[in-house]
Amino acid sequence: VSFLLLCFRPPLVTVLIFGLLLQAPLTQLSTITQPNFVLLLADDLGIGDVGCYGNDTIRTPNIDRLAKEGVKLTQHIAAAPLCTPSRAAFLTGRYPLRSGMDAVNDYRVIFWNAGSGGLPPNETTFAKILQQQGYSTGLIGKWHQGVNCESRNDHCHHPLKHGFDYFYGMPFTLISDCQPTETPEMDRAFRKKLWLSTQMIGLITLTAVLGRLTGLISVHWKMLTCLAGFSLLFFVSWFSSYGFVRYWNCIMMRNHGITEQPMVTDRTTSLILRESISFIERNKHRPFLLFLSFLHSHTPLLTTEKFLGRSRHGLYGDNVEEMDWMVGQVLDTIDKEGLTDTTLVYFASDHGGWLERQEGERQLGGWNGIYKGGKAMGGWEGGIRVPGIFRWPGVLPAGTVIDEPTSLMDIYPTLVHLAGGAVPQDRVIDGRDLLPLLRGTVPHSEHQFLFHYCGAHLHAARWHQKDTGAVWKAHYVTPIFSPPGAGACYDRGFCPCFGEGVTHHDPPLLFELSQDPSEAKPLSADTEPLFDTVIRKIGRAIEEHGRTLTPVPEQLSVSNVVWKPWLQPCCGTFPFCWCDKEGDN
Q: What is the pLDDT of residue 212?
A: 75
pLDDT tens string 28-73: 565 668 999 999 999 999 999 999 999 999 999 999 999 999 999 9
**Does domain 36-174+250-445+554-580 match CATH 3.40.720.10?**
yes
Residue 333 φ then ψ, to 5°: -65, -40
The DSSP-derived string for 146-201 is ---SSSTT--TTSGGGGT-SEEEEESS---GGGSTTSPP-TTHHHHHHHHHHHHHH
Q: What is the pLDDT of residue 9?
A: 38
Nearest residue to 30 (alpha-carbon basis) of 532, 460, 435: 435
pTM over 0.75: yes
Active-site residue, selected from the candidate residues 144, 351, 459, 464: 144
Q: 3-class DSSP state for residue 391?
A: strand
Which ranges in 215-342 belong to alpha helices (H)? 221-242, 245-249, 268-282, 314-336
Nearest residue to 412 (alpha-carbon basis) of 50, 46, 52, 98: 98
Q: What is the pLDDT of residue 31?
A: 62
Helix/strand/coil percentages in the chain, nearest 5: 40, 20, 45
**Which ranges of the chain have pLDDT less than 70?**
1-32, 585
Q: What is the pLDDT of residue 216?
A: 80
What is the Cα–Cα distance from 91 to 493, expressed in whole angstroms?
Answer: 28
Active-site residue, selected from the candidate residues 7, 52, 76, 83: 83
Angle, helices 221-242 vs 188-214, to 10°: value is: 160
* Cα maximum dimension of the chain: 126
417 carries an active-site annotation: no
Nearest residue to 102 (alpha-carbon basis) of 552, 563, 431: 552
Q: What is the pLDDT of residue 570?
A: 97
The domain ranges of the chain are 36-174+250-445+554-580, 188-243
How many CB atoms neighbour CB 232 within 10 A? Answer: 14
52 carries an active-site annotation: no
Q: What is the pLDDT of residue 2?
A: 39
Q: What is the pLDDT of residue 487?
A: 95
